Structure 1
Protein backbone atom coordinates (compact mmCIF):
# COMPACT_ATOMS: atom_id res chain seq x y z
CA UNK A 1 0.00 0.00 0.00
CA UNK A 2 1.30 3.47 -0.90
CA UNK A 3 2.50 5.49 2.07
CA UNK A 4 0.63 8.66 2.97
CA UNK A 5 3.05 11.56 3.48
CA UNK A 6 1.42 14.21 5.70
CA UNK A 7 2.83 17.73 5.40
CA UNK A 8 2.21 19.77 8.54
CA UNK A 9 3.20 20.39 12.15
CA UNK A 10 3.90 18.28 15.20
CA UNK A 11 3.47 20.53 18.20
CA UNK A 12 3.04 21.22 21.89
CA UNK A 13 -0.68 21.87 22.45
CA UNK A 14 -1.99 23.49 25.60
CA UNK A 15 -5.79 23.26 25.77
CA UNK A 16 -8.22 24.95 28.14
CA UNK A 17 -11.98 24.53 28.73
CA UNK A 18 -14.39 26.40 31.07
CA UNK A 19 -14.93 23.23 33.15
CA UNK A 20 -11.20 23.02 33.90
CA UNK A 21 -10.47 20.29 31.39
CA UNK A 22 -7.31 20.72 29.35
CA UNK A 23 -3.62 20.05 29.61
CA UNK A 24 -0.28 20.21 27.84
CA UNK A 25 -0.30 17.45 25.22
CA UNK A 26 1.36 16.30 22.05
CA UNK A 27 -0.46 17.64 19.02
CA UNK A 28 -0.24 18.90 15.48
CA UNK A 29 -2.20 18.05 12.37
CA UNK A 30 0.63 16.10 10.72
CA UNK A 31 0.84 13.84 13.76
CA UNK A 32 -2.89 13.28 14.16
CA UNK A 33 -3.60 12.64 10.45
CA UNK A 34 -0.65 10.26 10.10
CA UNK A 35 -1.48 8.45 13.34
CA UNK A 36 -5.12 7.96 12.32
CA UNK A 37 -4.09 6.62 8.91
CA UNK A 38 -1.60 4.21 10.49
CA UNK A 39 -4.17 2.98 13.01
CA UNK A 40 -6.51 2.32 10.08
CA UNK A 41 -3.83 0.21 8.39
CA UNK A 42 -2.16 2.62 5.99
CA UNK A 43 1.58 3.40 6.25
CA UNK A 44 1.98 7.09 7.05
CA UNK A 45 4.82 9.55 7.55
CA UNK A 46 4.67 13.03 9.11
CA UNK A 47 6.57 15.49 6.90
CA UNK A 48 7.41 17.95 9.65
CA UNK A 49 10.22 19.81 11.42
CA UNK A 50 10.82 18.98 15.08
CA UNK A 51 12.61 21.29 17.46
CA UNK A 52 15.03 20.22 20.16
CA UNK A 53 12.20 19.84 22.70
CA UNK A 54 10.40 17.21 20.59
CA UNK A 55 13.38 15.61 18.87
CA UNK A 56 12.80 12.40 20.87
CA UNK A 57 9.14 11.97 19.78
CA UNK A 58 9.91 9.44 16.98
CA UNK A 59 11.15 6.98 19.62
CA UNK A 60 8.16 7.44 21.94
CA UNK A 61 6.05 4.36 22.77
CA UNK A 62 2.89 4.31 20.70
CA UNK A 63 4.33 6.56 18.02
CA UNK A 64 6.98 4.20 16.68
CA UNK A 65 4.37 2.71 14.33
CA UNK A 66 4.70 5.80 12.17
CA UNK A 67 7.36 6.20 9.52
CA UNK A 68 9.50 9.08 10.80
CA UNK A 69 11.95 9.06 7.89
CA UNK A 70 10.37 12.21 6.41
CA UNK A 71 10.79 14.45 9.43
CA UNK A 72 13.54 17.02 9.86
CA UNK A 73 15.17 18.46 12.95
CA UNK A 74 16.26 21.99 13.77
CA UNK A 75 17.71 23.97 16.66
CA UNK A 76 15.04 25.86 18.56
CA UNK A 77 11.58 25.23 19.98
CA UNK A 78 8.87 23.21 18.23
CA UNK A 79 5.53 24.74 17.29
CA UNK A 80 3.27 25.55 20.26
CA UNK A 81 -0.48 26.14 20.19
CA UNK A 82 -2.45 27.54 23.14
CA UNK A 83 -6.10 26.74 22.45
CA UNK A 84 -9.11 27.89 24.47
CA UNK A 85 -12.46 26.19 23.82
CA UNK A 86 -16.04 26.61 25.03
CA UNK A 87 -18.03 23.73 26.50
CA UNK A 88 -19.32 22.76 23.05
CA UNK A 89 -15.79 22.36 21.72
CA UNK A 90 -15.79 25.55 19.63
CA UNK A 91 -12.42 27.30 19.47
CA UNK A 92 -12.59 30.69 21.20
CA UNK A 93 -8.98 31.82 21.19
CA UNK A 94 -5.67 30.70 19.71
CA UNK A 95 -2.11 31.77 20.44
CA UNK A 96 0.71 30.37 18.33
CA UNK A 97 4.48 30.24 18.41
CA UNK A 98 5.59 28.59 15.16
CA UNK A 99 9.16 27.99 16.26
CA UNK A 100 11.10 25.74 13.89
CA UNK A 101 7.99 25.23 11.71
CA UNK A 102 9.10 28.41 9.92
CA UNK A 103 11.39 25.98 8.06
CA UNK A 104 8.58 23.60 7.08
CA UNK A 105 8.03 24.95 3.56
CA UNK A 106 11.61 24.37 2.44
CA UNK A 107 11.66 20.98 4.15
CA UNK A 108 8.40 19.94 2.46
CA UNK A 109 9.46 21.14 -1.00
CA UNK A 110 12.73 19.23 -0.74
CA UNK A 111 10.84 16.11 0.34
CA UNK A 112 8.47 16.38 -2.62
CA UNK A 113 11.40 16.70 -5.01
CA UNK A 114 12.91 13.50 -3.58
CA UNK A 115 9.57 11.68 -3.53
CA UNK A 116 7.46 12.99 -6.42
CA UNK A 117 5.42 9.77 -6.69
CA UNK A 118 4.33 9.63 -3.06
CA UNK A 119 0.74 10.35 -2.09
CA UNK A 120 0.34 13.46 0.05
CA UNK A 121 -1.98 15.10 2.52
CA UNK A 122 -1.34 18.82 3.04
CA UNK A 123 -2.42 20.44 6.31
CA UNK A 124 -3.08 23.97 5.06
CA UNK A 125 -2.02 25.96 8.08
CA UNK A 126 0.39 28.80 8.72
CA UNK A 127 3.34 29.14 8.38
CA UNK A 128 3.36 26.67 5.44
CA UNK A 129 3.50 28.28 1.98
CA UNK A 130 0.65 26.17 0.66
CA UNK A 131 0.69 27.72 -2.80
CA UNK A 132 4.31 26.69 -3.33
CA UNK A 133 3.70 23.17 -2.02
CA UNK A 134 0.50 22.53 -4.01
CA UNK A 135 2.03 23.98 -7.17
CA UNK A 136 4.97 21.57 -6.81
CA UNK A 137 2.66 18.59 -6.21
CA UNK A 138 0.57 19.42 -9.28
CA UNK A 139 3.75 19.90 -11.32
CA UNK A 140 4.78 16.34 -10.46
CA UNK A 141 1.29 14.94 -10.98
CA UNK A 142 1.17 13.74 -7.36
CA UNK A 143 -2.02 12.59 -5.70
CA UNK A 144 -2.87 14.84 -2.76
CA UNK A 145 -5.63 15.82 -0.36
CA UNK A 146 -5.95 18.92 1.84
CA UNK A 147 -7.55 20.20 5.02
CA UNK A 148 -7.84 23.57 6.76
CA UNK A 149 -7.91 25.12 10.24
CA UNK A 150 -10.74 27.57 10.88
CA UNK A 151 -8.71 30.54 12.23
CA UNK A 152 -6.75 30.74 8.95
CA UNK A 153 -9.21 28.95 6.64
CA UNK A 154 -10.47 31.96 4.71
CA UNK A 155 -6.98 33.07 3.69
CA UNK A 156 -5.83 29.50 3.05
CA UNK A 157 -8.84 28.60 0.91
CA UNK A 158 -8.29 31.71 -1.21
CA UNK A 159 -4.60 30.86 -1.54
CA UNK A 160 -5.17 27.21 -2.47
CA UNK A 161 -8.25 27.74 -4.67
CA UNK A 162 -6.39 27.41 -8.02
CA UNK A 163 -5.31 23.86 -7.09
CA UNK A 164 -8.30 22.51 -5.14
CA UNK A 165 -9.96 20.86 -8.14
CA UNK A 166 -6.83 18.71 -8.43
CA UNK A 167 -7.14 17.47 -4.85
CA UNK A 168 -8.50 13.95 -4.39
CA UNK A 169 -10.33 15.03 -1.23
CA UNK A 170 -10.88 18.32 0.58
CA UNK A 171 -11.63 18.09 4.33
CA UNK A 172 -13.52 20.93 6.05
CA UNK A 173 -15.81 21.52 8.98
CA UNK A 174 -19.22 23.16 8.49
CA UNK A 175 -17.94 26.72 8.94
CA UNK A 176 -15.03 26.10 6.57
CA UNK A 177 -17.43 24.56 4.05
CA UNK A 178 -19.39 27.80 3.93
CA UNK A 179 -16.16 29.66 3.22
CA UNK A 180 -15.26 27.09 0.57
CA UNK A 181 -18.64 27.58 -1.13
CA UNK A 182 -18.20 31.36 -1.10
CA UNK A 183 -14.71 31.25 -2.59
CA UNK A 184 -14.79 28.29 -5.01
CA UNK A 185 -17.22 26.40 -7.20
CA UNK A 186 -17.64 23.25 -5.11
CA UNK A 187 -19.22 21.42 -8.06
CA UNK A 188 -15.69 21.29 -9.52
CA UNK A 189 -14.30 19.42 -6.49
CA UNK A 190 -14.12 15.60 -6.80
CA UNK A 191 -14.69 14.91 -3.10
CA UNK A 192 -15.38 17.11 -0.09
CA UNK A 193 -15.75 15.67 3.42
CA UNK A 194 -17.69 17.98 5.77
CA UNK A 195 -17.81 17.40 9.53
CA UNK A 196 -20.19 19.25 11.83
CA UNK A 197 -19.56 18.22 15.43
CA UNK A 198 -22.35 15.92 16.65
CA UNK A 199 -24.42 16.58 13.52
CA UNK A 200 -24.21 14.38 10.40
CA UNK A 201 -20.90 14.31 8.54
CA UNK A 202 -21.27 14.33 4.76
CA UNK A 203 -19.33 13.59 1.60
CA UNK A 204 -20.00 15.68 -1.50
CA UNK A 205 -18.81 14.55 -4.95
CA UNK A 206 -18.84 17.31 -7.58
CA UNK A 207 -21.56 19.07 -5.59
CA UNK A 208 -23.77 16.02 -5.06
CA UNK A 209 -24.16 14.35 -1.68
CA UNK A 210 -22.52 10.92 -1.79
CA UNK A 211 -22.76 9.92 1.90
CA UNK A 212 -24.12 11.06 5.25
CA UNK A 213 -23.26 9.54 8.64
CA UNK A 214 -24.38 10.57 12.14
CA UNK A 215 -21.38 10.41 14.51
CA UNK A 216 -21.70 8.19 17.57
CA UNK A 217 -22.40 10.09 20.76
CA UNK A 218 -19.50 10.06 23.22
CA UNK A 219 -18.51 12.60 25.86
CA UNK A 220 -15.33 14.30 24.63
CA UNK A 221 -12.19 14.55 26.69
CA UNK A 222 -10.35 16.65 24.08
CA UNK A 223 -11.77 17.86 20.75
CA UNK A 224 -8.53 19.09 19.16
CA UNK A 225 -7.48 16.58 16.51
CA UNK A 226 -10.93 15.14 15.80
CA UNK A 227 -11.02 16.50 12.25
CA UNK A 228 -7.49 15.28 11.61
CA UNK A 229 -8.54 11.81 12.78
CA UNK A 230 -11.45 11.87 10.33
CA UNK A 231 -9.08 12.80 7.50
CA UNK A 232 -6.45 10.15 8.21
CA UNK A 233 -8.98 7.37 8.74
CA UNK A 234 -11.05 8.31 5.69
CA UNK A 235 -7.99 8.41 3.43
CA UNK A 236 -6.78 5.03 4.70
CA UNK A 237 -10.09 3.33 3.92
CA UNK A 238 -10.53 5.05 0.56
CA UNK A 239 -7.04 3.91 -0.46
CA UNK A 240 -8.21 0.32 -0.01
CA UNK A 241 -11.22 0.81 -2.26
CA UNK A 242 -13.90 1.44 0.37
CA UNK A 243 -16.87 3.54 -0.72
CA UNK A 244 -17.30 7.12 0.54
CA UNK A 245 -20.09 5.95 2.86
CA UNK A 246 -18.01 3.11 4.30
CA UNK A 247 -14.96 5.33 4.72
CA UNK A 248 -16.97 8.11 6.36
CA UNK A 249 -18.56 5.69 8.84
CA UNK A 250 -15.13 4.39 9.84
CA UNK A 251 -13.76 7.93 10.07
CA UNK A 252 -16.44 9.35 12.37
CA UNK A 253 -16.24 6.25 14.59
CA UNK A 254 -12.47 6.69 14.90
CA UNK A 255 -12.90 10.40 15.72
CA UNK A 256 -15.46 9.59 18.43
CA UNK A 257 -12.99 7.17 20.03
CA UNK A 258 -10.20 9.75 19.69
CA UNK A 259 -12.00 12.60 21.47
CA UNK A 260 -13.12 10.29 24.31
CA UNK A 261 -9.62 8.90 24.91
CA UNK A 262 -6.97 10.50 27.13
CA UNK A 263 -4.82 13.02 25.23
CA UNK A 264 -1.35 12.09 24.03
CA UNK A 265 1.14 13.10 26.72
CA UNK A 266 4.36 14.89 25.89
CA UNK A 267 6.81 11.97 26.00
CA UNK A 268 9.60 12.23 28.51
CA UNK A 269 13.09 12.52 27.10
CA UNK A 270 15.19 9.43 27.62
CA UNK A 271 18.16 9.83 29.85
CA UNK A 272 21.53 8.86 28.46
Structure 2
Protein backbone atom coordinates (compact mmCIF):
# COMPACT_ATOMS: atom_id res chain seq x y z
CA UNK A 1 0.00 0.00 0.00
CA UNK A 2 1.48 3.33 -1.07
CA UNK A 3 2.09 6.15 1.38
CA UNK A 4 -0.19 9.18 1.13
CA UNK A 5 1.79 12.43 1.07
CA UNK A 6 -0.28 15.26 2.54
CA UNK A 7 0.63 18.79 1.42
CA UNK A 8 -0.46 21.38 3.97
CA UNK A 9 0.17 23.15 7.27
CA UNK A 10 0.83 22.04 10.82
CA UNK A 11 -0.14 24.77 13.23
CA UNK A 12 -0.61 26.02 16.73
CA UNK A 13 -4.30 26.88 17.05
CA UNK A 14 -6.43 28.76 19.55
CA UNK A 15 -10.18 28.11 19.29
CA UNK A 16 -12.98 30.18 20.85
CA UNK A 17 -16.69 29.41 21.38
CA UNK A 18 -19.42 31.60 22.91
CA UNK A 19 -19.86 29.10 25.78
CA UNK A 20 -16.14 29.41 26.69
CA UNK A 21 -15.04 26.09 25.20
CA UNK A 22 -11.79 26.05 23.25
CA UNK A 23 -8.22 26.97 23.97
CA UNK A 24 -4.71 26.30 22.68
CA UNK A 25 -4.23 23.11 20.72
CA UNK A 26 -2.15 21.45 18.03
CA UNK A 27 -3.78 21.62 14.61
CA UNK A 28 -3.26 21.95 10.90
CA UNK A 29 -4.83 19.88 8.15
CA UNK A 30 -1.60 18.12 7.18
CA UNK A 31 -1.15 16.77 10.69
CA UNK A 32 -4.76 15.88 11.51
CA UNK A 33 -5.40 14.22 8.16
CA UNK A 34 -2.14 12.25 8.39
CA UNK A 35 -3.03 11.08 11.88
CA UNK A 36 -6.43 9.89 10.67
CA UNK A 37 -4.81 7.96 7.83
CA UNK A 38 -2.46 6.17 10.19
CA UNK A 39 -5.23 5.40 12.71
CA UNK A 40 -7.12 3.76 9.85
CA UNK A 41 -4.17 1.49 9.13
CA UNK A 42 -2.40 3.20 6.22
CA UNK A 43 0.77 5.29 5.88
CA UNK A 44 0.96 9.07 5.62
CA UNK A 45 3.64 11.75 5.48
CA UNK A 46 2.93 15.47 6.03
CA UNK A 47 4.62 17.60 3.37
CA UNK A 48 4.92 20.69 5.57
CA UNK A 49 7.27 23.30 6.99
CA UNK A 50 7.78 23.50 10.76
CA UNK A 51 9.34 26.35 12.68
CA UNK A 52 11.62 26.01 15.67
CA UNK A 53 8.68 26.08 18.10
CA UNK A 54 7.41 22.73 16.74
CA UNK A 55 10.70 21.21 15.62
CA UNK A 56 10.40 18.64 18.43
CA UNK A 57 7.02 17.34 17.20
CA UNK A 58 8.33 14.28 15.30
CA UNK A 59 10.00 13.05 18.50
CA UNK A 60 7.00 13.74 20.75
CA UNK A 61 5.10 10.76 22.22
CA UNK A 62 2.12 9.71 20.14
CA UNK A 63 3.39 10.96 16.79
CA UNK A 64 5.70 8.10 15.91
CA UNK A 65 3.17 6.42 13.58
CA UNK A 66 3.55 9.30 11.11
CA UNK A 67 6.26 9.25 8.43
CA UNK A 68 8.16 12.53 8.92
CA UNK A 69 10.53 12.10 5.98
CA UNK A 70 8.73 14.80 3.92
CA UNK A 71 9.10 17.45 6.63
CA UNK A 72 11.11 20.65 6.16
CA UNK A 73 12.27 22.78 9.08
CA UNK A 74 12.95 26.51 8.95
CA UNK A 75 14.01 29.30 11.27
CA UNK A 76 11.04 31.20 12.62
CA UNK A 77 7.60 30.45 14.03
CA UNK A 78 5.21 27.78 12.81
CA UNK A 79 1.78 28.68 11.47
CA UNK A 80 -0.76 29.89 14.04
CA UNK A 81 -4.54 30.24 13.70
CA UNK A 82 -7.00 32.07 15.93
CA UNK A 83 -10.38 30.44 15.18
CA UNK A 84 -13.77 31.67 16.38
CA UNK A 85 -16.89 29.48 16.15
CA UNK A 86 -20.56 29.96 16.95
CA UNK A 87 -22.56 27.56 19.14
CA UNK A 88 -23.51 25.47 16.10
CA UNK A 89 -19.84 24.85 15.33
CA UNK A 90 -19.71 27.09 12.28
CA UNK A 91 -16.50 29.10 11.79
CA UNK A 92 -17.23 32.83 12.00
CA UNK A 93 -13.72 34.35 12.03
CA UNK A 94 -10.13 33.26 11.49
CA UNK A 95 -6.93 35.21 12.03
CA UNK A 96 -3.84 33.46 10.62
CA UNK A 97 -0.12 34.04 10.96
CA UNK A 98 1.50 31.76 8.41
CA UNK A 99 5.05 32.07 9.70
CA UNK A 100 7.46 29.63 8.07
CA UNK A 101 4.61 28.10 6.02
CA UNK A 102 5.22 30.95 3.56
CA UNK A 103 7.85 28.52 2.25
CA UNK A 104 5.37 25.65 1.81
CA UNK A 105 4.86 26.05 -1.94
CA UNK A 106 8.58 25.90 -2.71
CA UNK A 107 9.00 22.89 -0.41
CA UNK A 108 5.99 21.09 -1.94
CA UNK A 109 7.27 21.66 -5.48
CA UNK A 110 10.69 20.29 -4.57
CA UNK A 111 9.13 17.27 -2.89
CA UNK A 112 6.74 16.47 -5.74
CA UNK A 113 9.62 16.80 -8.19
CA UNK A 114 11.64 14.23 -6.22
CA UNK A 115 8.61 11.95 -5.73
CA UNK A 116 6.54 12.48 -8.87
CA UNK A 117 4.01 9.67 -8.78
CA UNK A 118 2.14 10.15 -5.52
CA UNK A 119 -0.51 9.58 -4.32
CA UNK A 120 -0.97 13.04 -2.82
CA UNK A 121 -3.60 14.88 -0.85
CA UNK A 122 -3.50 18.68 -1.16
CA UNK A 123 -4.97 20.80 1.63
CA UNK A 124 -6.01 23.83 -0.41
CA UNK A 125 -5.35 26.58 2.10
CA UNK A 126 -3.35 29.77 2.12
CA UNK A 127 -0.45 30.42 1.75
CA UNK A 128 -0.10 27.47 -0.68
CA UNK A 129 0.03 28.32 -4.39
CA UNK A 130 -2.52 25.68 -5.34
CA UNK A 131 -2.23 26.27 -9.09
CA UNK A 132 1.51 25.71 -9.12
CA UNK A 133 1.29 22.53 -7.03
CA UNK A 134 -1.65 20.99 -8.91
CA UNK A 135 -0.09 21.85 -12.25
CA UNK A 136 3.06 19.96 -11.31
CA UNK A 137 1.11 16.96 -9.97
CA UNK A 138 -0.83 16.72 -13.23
CA UNK A 139 2.31 17.03 -15.34
CA UNK A 140 3.85 14.25 -13.26
CA UNK A 141 0.80 12.02 -13.70
CA UNK A 142 0.31 11.78 -9.93
CA UNK A 143 -2.95 10.70 -8.32
CA UNK A 144 -4.27 13.36 -5.94
CA UNK A 145 -7.24 14.35 -3.79
CA UNK A 146 -8.15 17.78 -2.43
CA UNK A 147 -9.94 19.56 0.38
CA UNK A 148 -10.75 23.21 1.12
CA UNK A 149 -11.16 25.60 4.07
CA UNK A 150 -14.26 27.77 3.94
CA UNK A 151 -12.64 31.21 4.56
CA UNK A 152 -10.44 30.78 1.47
CA UNK A 153 -12.53 28.22 -0.43
CA UNK A 154 -13.86 30.50 -3.16
CA UNK A 155 -10.39 31.73 -4.14
CA UNK A 156 -8.87 28.26 -3.87
CA UNK A 157 -11.61 26.60 -5.93
CA UNK A 158 -11.05 29.20 -8.65
CA UNK A 159 -7.29 28.63 -8.54
CA UNK A 160 -7.76 24.85 -8.72
CA UNK A 161 -10.66 24.92 -11.20
CA UNK A 162 -9.01 23.53 -14.34
CA UNK A 163 -7.57 20.56 -12.42
CA UNK A 164 -10.60 19.62 -10.28
CA UNK A 165 -11.95 16.98 -12.71
CA UNK A 166 -8.55 15.25 -12.52
CA UNK A 167 -8.74 14.82 -8.73
CA UNK A 168 -9.69 11.37 -7.45
CA UNK A 169 -11.73 12.84 -4.56
CA UNK A 170 -12.78 16.29 -3.38
CA UNK A 171 -13.77 16.92 0.24
CA UNK A 172 -16.06 19.91 0.91
CA UNK A 173 -18.65 21.01 3.43
CA UNK A 174 -22.12 22.06 2.32
CA UNK A 175 -21.20 25.75 1.92
CA UNK A 176 -18.07 24.86 -0.05
CA UNK A 177 -20.08 22.51 -2.27
CA UNK A 178 -22.43 25.38 -3.14
CA UNK A 179 -19.38 27.45 -4.18
CA UNK A 180 -18.01 24.50 -6.12
CA UNK A 181 -21.22 24.13 -8.11
CA UNK A 182 -21.11 27.80 -9.11
CA UNK A 183 -17.72 27.33 -10.76
CA UNK A 184 -17.50 23.71 -11.94
CA UNK A 185 -19.93 21.29 -13.55
CA UNK A 186 -20.32 18.67 -10.80
CA UNK A 187 -20.97 16.03 -13.48
CA UNK A 188 -17.27 16.25 -14.41
CA UNK A 189 -16.06 15.39 -10.88
CA UNK A 190 -15.30 11.70 -10.23
CA UNK A 191 -15.96 11.81 -6.48
CA UNK A 192 -17.07 14.54 -4.08
CA UNK A 193 -17.58 13.95 -0.34
CA UNK A 194 -19.93 16.57 1.11
CA UNK A 195 -20.25 16.99 4.88
CA UNK A 196 -22.84 19.07 6.69
CA UNK A 197 -22.11 19.04 10.41
CA UNK A 198 -24.56 16.73 12.22
CA UNK A 199 -26.59 16.24 9.04
CA UNK A 200 -26.02 13.53 6.43
CA UNK A 201 -22.65 13.25 4.72
CA UNK A 202 -23.01 12.42 1.03
CA UNK A 203 -20.69 11.01 -1.64
CA UNK A 204 -21.42 12.03 -5.24
CA UNK A 205 -19.90 10.32 -8.29
CA UNK A 206 -20.08 12.55 -11.37
CA UNK A 207 -22.92 14.49 -9.73
CA UNK A 208 -24.97 11.44 -8.73
CA UNK A 209 -25.48 10.40 -5.11
CA UNK A 210 -23.53 7.19 -4.41
CA UNK A 211 -23.70 6.97 -0.61
CA UNK A 212 -25.16 8.84 2.34
CA UNK A 213 -24.57 8.49 6.09
CA UNK A 214 -25.95 10.43 9.05
CA UNK A 215 -23.13 10.88 11.61
CA UNK A 216 -23.67 9.29 15.02
CA UNK A 217 -25.21 11.75 17.48
CA UNK A 218 -22.63 12.95 20.00
CA UNK A 219 -22.15 16.40 21.56
CA UNK A 220 -18.92 17.91 20.18
CA UNK A 221 -16.21 19.34 22.41
CA UNK A 222 -14.19 20.74 19.52
CA UNK A 223 -15.21 20.82 15.84
CA UNK A 224 -11.91 22.07 14.38
CA UNK A 225 -10.29 19.16 12.56
CA UNK A 226 -13.42 17.05 12.08
CA UNK A 227 -13.27 17.36 8.29
CA UNK A 228 -9.58 16.43 8.22
CA UNK A 229 -10.29 13.34 10.30
CA UNK A 230 -13.14 12.29 8.02
CA UNK A 231 -11.06 12.84 4.87
CA UNK A 232 -8.03 10.93 6.14
CA UNK A 233 -10.11 7.99 7.32
CA UNK A 234 -12.08 7.85 4.06
CA UNK A 235 -8.94 7.94 1.90
CA UNK A 236 -7.21 5.25 3.95
CA UNK A 237 -10.17 2.88 3.82
CA UNK A 238 -10.78 3.40 0.11
CA UNK A 239 -7.09 2.66 -0.57
CA UNK A 240 -7.55 -0.60 1.35
CA UNK A 241 -10.46 -1.63 -0.87
CA UNK A 242 -13.43 -0.58 1.25
CA UNK A 243 -16.65 0.26 -0.54
CA UNK A 244 -17.73 3.88 -0.75
CA UNK A 245 -20.58 3.29 1.71
CA UNK A 246 -18.39 1.55 4.28
CA UNK A 247 -15.61 4.14 3.98
CA UNK A 248 -18.10 6.98 4.46
CA UNK A 249 -19.75 5.32 7.45
CA UNK A 250 -16.45 4.65 9.21
CA UNK A 251 -15.09 8.09 8.32
CA UNK A 252 -18.12 9.89 9.79
CA UNK A 253 -17.86 7.73 12.91
CA UNK A 254 -14.16 8.60 13.24
CA UNK A 255 -14.93 12.32 12.88
CA UNK A 256 -17.64 12.04 15.54
CA UNK A 257 -15.20 10.38 17.95
CA UNK A 258 -12.63 13.06 17.19
CA UNK A 259 -14.90 16.02 18.00
CA UNK A 260 -16.05 14.35 21.24
CA UNK A 261 -12.48 13.79 22.47
CA UNK A 262 -10.22 16.32 24.22
CA UNK A 263 -8.29 18.66 21.90
CA UNK A 264 -4.81 17.61 20.84
CA UNK A 265 -2.36 19.30 23.24
CA UNK A 266 0.78 21.04 22.01
CA UNK A 267 3.61 18.78 23.20
CA UNK A 268 6.32 20.23 25.41
CA UNK A 269 9.91 19.73 24.21
CA UNK A 270 11.82 17.10 26.15
CA UNK A 271 14.60 18.34 28.35
CA UNK A 272 18.06 17.27 27.36
Task: Give the shorter-chain TM-score range.
Answer: over 0.9
TM-score (ref. length: structure 1): 0.99
The answer for the alignment partner of 2:35 in structure 1 is: 35
Which aligned pairs between 1:99-118 and structure 2 lie closer than 5 A?
Answer: 99-118=99-118
After superposition, give the CA deviation of every residue in 1:180-212 in whole Å (9 maximum; x if it has no partner). Answer: 000100100000000000000000000100000
| Secondary structure of 2:36's aligned partner | helix
| Secondary structure of 1:23's aligned partner | strand
After superposition, give the CA deviation of every residue in 1:11-32 in whole Å (9 maximum; x if it has no partner). Answer: 0000011111111000000001
Give 1:61 deviation, angstroms. 1.0
Partners of 1:60 and 1:178 in 2: CA distance: 40
Q: Which runs of 5+ in 2 are unaligned?
A: none
Give 1:241 deviation, angstroms. 1.2
Partners of 1:93 and 1:192 in 2: CA distance: 26
| Secondary structure of 2:263's aligned partner | coil
Give 1:228 deviation, angstroms. 0.5
Give 1:118 deviation, angstroms. 2.1
Which aligned pairs between 1:1-272 and structure 2 lie closer than 5 A?
Answer: 1-272=1-272
Partners of 1:166 and 1:107 in 2: CA distance: 23
Let me know the Cα RMSD of the aligned residues: 0.5
| Secondary structure of 1:165's aligned partner | helix
Q: Which runs of 5+ in 1 are unaligned?
A: none
After superposition, give the CA deviation of every residue in 1:16-59 in whole Å (9 maximum; x if it has no partner). Answer: 11111111000000001110011001100000000000000111
User: Between Structure 1 and Structure 2, how many residues are aligned?
Assistant: 272
Task: Detail structure 1 runs of 4+ shifted over 4 Å in the superposition.
Answer: none
Partners of 2:226 and 2:59 in 1: CA distance: 24
After superposition, give the CA deviation of every residue in 1:44-84 in whole Å (9 maximum; x if it has no partner). Answer: 00000000000001111111110001010000000000001
Partners of 1:81 and 1:64 in 2: CA distance: 24
